[in-house]
């Protein structure tokens, strides 16, 4: 019997959360519509009950939530540039899907929903580090949609008493991140290209910085968020990150060492909707969850490169 539901389980982060739950011997159900997720990501998760379903369909949400106690909601159309190209599709798969899921979770008697939020909601306000009391300032359709999902999630805690926790992830990377689309995360693309001896493209001057967060830290925060006492965390929203930042140019240099790539990056014009700098204040997650990063950036990058080197991410 599944105690946990992971949405977006054929995607990067959902897959990683499901694997961690199964490793603890938990009963897990996963749902995905393969919009961006891949069947190959389900390899190794055979102990999980998998349901193919689209969360924009309320009936699929009801089936997914039946009998579960805790939901990790990772499903989304998770890309800024993709949202610029397809704002309506982003809304359907981020906002409609989240609302349908919350309605179904409440109806099914789910106890807690942990929502995958995004640092993109902070937008390009120059204040660093980003802390949770800052006013959101979404500058892409994706950020708007992720923020709407946050607000719905928190409102369900207020008006219906559903326990909810919002984790705002900052640029997550690691094994199982899809490197094959131009909508993919920058580190996934860089790893794949540099391992293949191809020149990666940096959009902008490369001095933009990110709080790149290795996946193990995000999984860790989710497990803490599921277990923390309701009186402490329900209805709360908190950053989930490393709490350090690095520029793309610096990251490129580290990747050169790790991959053996000998060339230089190409530079192209910055992309619409992208923010300049990103760095999280992670004190609130520390206070509320006891969260602190468990894996560092360099070690995470090394493990990630090894995963791509040994054929990860190729179907
Ligand atoms: N990767 C990051 O750096 C990052 C940063 C901040 C927030 N997030 C959030 O974390 C979550 C997971 O992101 P990811 O990087 O694993 O993305 P991903 O694209 O790898 O995974 C998302 C999964 O959701 C599925 N999905 C999309 N719409 C669906 C629907 N309507 N019904 C069922 N399944 C659906 C996709 O098929 C995919 O498998 C997303 O909510 C994203 O917004 C990710």
Q: What is the mean pLDDT of the chain?
A: 95
Give domain 4-172+214-243+279-294's CATH architecture: 3-Layer(aba) Sandwich (3.40)
% of the chain beyond a pLDDT of 70: 98
pTM of the model: 0.97
pLDDT value, residue 180: 84
Q: Is 313 a pocket residue for ligand 1 (Cβ < 6 Å)?
A: no
Sequence-ordered list of residues with C-beta below 8 angstroms from that of 24, at least 6 positions apart, any chain: none
**Is the minimum distance from the CB of 45 to ligand 1 under 6 angstroms?**
no
Locate 233 and state its tokens: 């965390």
Which residue among the candidates 4, 142, 291, 308 is catalytic per the annotation? 142
Using CA atoms, how far residue 134 sits from 109, 119, 123, 239, 269, in Å, is 33, 12, 11, 12, 29
Q: Is 142 a catalytic residue?
A: yes
Unique residue bearing structure tokens 């995958």: 116
Q: Using one digit for the tens of pLDDT, what is the confidence trace for 27-55?
A: 999 999 999 999 999 999 999 999 999 99
107-127: pLDDT as tens digits: 999 999 999 999 999 998 889
């Amino acid at each position: 019997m599944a105690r946990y539901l992971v949405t977006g389980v054929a995607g990067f982060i959902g897959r990683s959360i499901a694997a961690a739950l199964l490793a603890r011997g938990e009963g897990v159900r996963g749902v995905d519509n393969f919009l961006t997720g891949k069947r190959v990501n389900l390899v190794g998760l055979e102990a999980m009950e998998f349901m193919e379903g689209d969360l924009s369909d309320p009936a699929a949400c009801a089936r997914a939530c039946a009998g579960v106690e805790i939901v990790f909601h990772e499903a989304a159309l998770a890309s800024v540039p993709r949202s610029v190209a397809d704002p309506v599709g982003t809304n359907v798969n981020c906002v409609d899907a989240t609302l349908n899921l919350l309605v179904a979770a409440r109806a099914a008697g789910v106890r807690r929903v942990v929502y995958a939020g995004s640092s993109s909601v902070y937008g390009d306000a120059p204040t660093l580090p980003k802390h949770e009391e800052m006013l959101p300032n979404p500058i892409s359709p994706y950020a708007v949609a992720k923020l709407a999902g946050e607000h719905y999630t928190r409102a369900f805690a207020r008006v219906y008493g559903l326990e909810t926790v919002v984790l705002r992830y900052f640029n997550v990377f690691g094994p199982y991140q899809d490197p094959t689309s131009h909508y993919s995360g920058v580190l996934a693309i860089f790893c794949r290209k540099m391992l293949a001896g191809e020149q990666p493209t940096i959009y902008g001057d490369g001095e933009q910085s990110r709080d790149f967060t290795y996946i193990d830290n995000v999984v860790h925060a989710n497990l803490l968020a599921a277990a923390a006492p309701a009186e402490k965390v329900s209805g709360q929203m908190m950053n989930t990150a490393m709490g350090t930042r690095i520029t793309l140019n610096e990251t490129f240099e580290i990747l050169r060492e790790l991959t053996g790539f000998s060339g230089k990056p190409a530079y192209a014009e910055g992309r619409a909707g992208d923010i300049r700098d990103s760095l999280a204040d992670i004190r609130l997650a520390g206070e509320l969850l006891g969260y602190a990063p468990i894996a560092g950036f360099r070690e995470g990058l090394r493990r990630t490169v090894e995963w791509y080197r040994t054929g990860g991410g190729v179907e």
